[in-house]
Chains A and B, each alone.
Chain A
Amino acid sequence: MIAAAAAPSRDRTWGAGLFGPVLVLLAWEVLARVLDGAFVLAGPSAILSYLVEHAGLVWRALGATLTNAVLGFAIGNAVAIVLATTAIVVPRSEALIRGLALLVFCLPLVATGPILRVIFGPGPWPQITLAALAVYYTTLIPLLVGLRAVPSGWLDLVHSYGRGRVAALLHVRAHAALPYLVAGLQIAAPAAFLGAMVGEFTGAERGMGVLTIRAMRGMNVDMTWALATVATAVAVLSYLAIGWLARRALRQDPPIILAPPATPEGQARRLTGVTNLITIALAALILWWAMITGLNLNPFFAKGPAEVWSALITSADAAETRQTLMQALSETAIFLLPGYVAGLASGAVLAMLIVLFPALAGTAMPLAIALRSVPIITTAPLVVLLLGRGAVGTVVLVAIMVFFPTFVACLHGLRQAPGRVLDVFDSYAAGPVEKLLRVRIPAMLPAFFAAARMNVPASVLAVTVVEWLATGKGIGSVMALSASLSDYDMLWSSVVIVALLSAGGYAGVGWIEKRVLRTYAPEQLA
Chain B
Amino acid sequence: MSVPVVCTNVAKTFRGAVEAVTPMTLSFEAGQTTALVGPSGCGKSTLLRMIAGLETPSSGQIAIDGHPPAEIRRNAGLSVAFQDPSLLPWRSVRGNIELALDLARLPRRADQIDQLIHLVGLDGFADTRPAELSGGMRQRAAIARALSTRPKLLLLDEPFGAVDELTRKQLANDLPGIWEASGTTTLLVTHSVSEAVTLSDRVIVLSPRPARVVADIDVALERPRQPEVTQSDTFASIVEQVSAALAVGVGHTLPKAAQ
Contacts and interface: CB of A to CB of B under 8 A. Distances in A.
B171 interface: no
Given A167-B103, A171-B99, A171-B103, A162 B75 contact: yes
Interface in B59-103: 70, 72-76, 78-80, 82, 84, 86, 88-90, 99-100, 102-103
Interface string A136-172: 0000000000000001011011111111000100011
Interface string A511-525: 000000000000000
Contacts of A172: 88
Contacts of A160: 52, 54, 73, 78-80
B73 A154 contact: no
Given A151-B86, A171-B99, A172-B88, A161 B54 contact: no
A65 to B, nearest CB: 37
A156 B54 contact: yes
A257 B89 CA distance: 10
B106 to A, nearest CB: 9
A175 interface: yes
Contacts of B104: 161-162
Contacts, number: 54
B149 interface: yes
Interface string A112-156: 000000000000000000000000000000000000000101101
B149 A161 contact: yes
Q: Which of A153, A154, A156, A160 has the most CB of B within 10 A?
A: A160
B88 A154 contact: yes
Interface in B116-154: 149
Contact of B73 (A153, A162, A175, A257): A162
Interface in B37-65: 49, 52-54
Contacts of B78: 160-162
Contacts of B100: 157, 161
Contact of A156 (B75, B82, B90, B99): B82
B88 A162 contact: no
Interface string B167-206: 0000000000000000000000000000000000000000
A161 B90 CA distance: 20
A171 to B, nearest CB: 6
B103 A158 contact: yes
A156 B80 CA distance: 9
Contact of B103 (A153, A163, A175, A257): A163
Contacts of A163: 103
A162 B82 contact: no
Nearest to B102: A171
A175 B90 contact: yes
Q: Which of A157, A158, A175, A257 has the most CB of B within 10 A?
A: A157
A153 B76 CA distance: 18
A171 B99 CA distance: 8
A308 B37 CA distance: 69
Interface in A253-288: 257
A167 B53 CA distance: 17
Contacts of B90: 175
Q: Which of B49, B90, B100, B149 has the most CB of A within 10 A?
A: B90
17 contacts: A151-B84, A151-B86, A154-B86, A156-B49, A156-B82, A160-B52, A160-B79, A160-B80, A161-B73, A161-B100, A161-B104, A162-B70, A162-B73, A162-B74, A162-B76, A172-B88, A257-B89
Interface of B: 49, 52-54, 70, 72-76, 78-80, 82, 84, 86, 88-90, 99-100, 102-104, 149
Given A153-B84, A157-B80, A161-B103, 8 more contacts: A156-B52, A156-B80, A158-B103, A160-B80, A161-B78, A161-B79, A162-B74, A171-B102
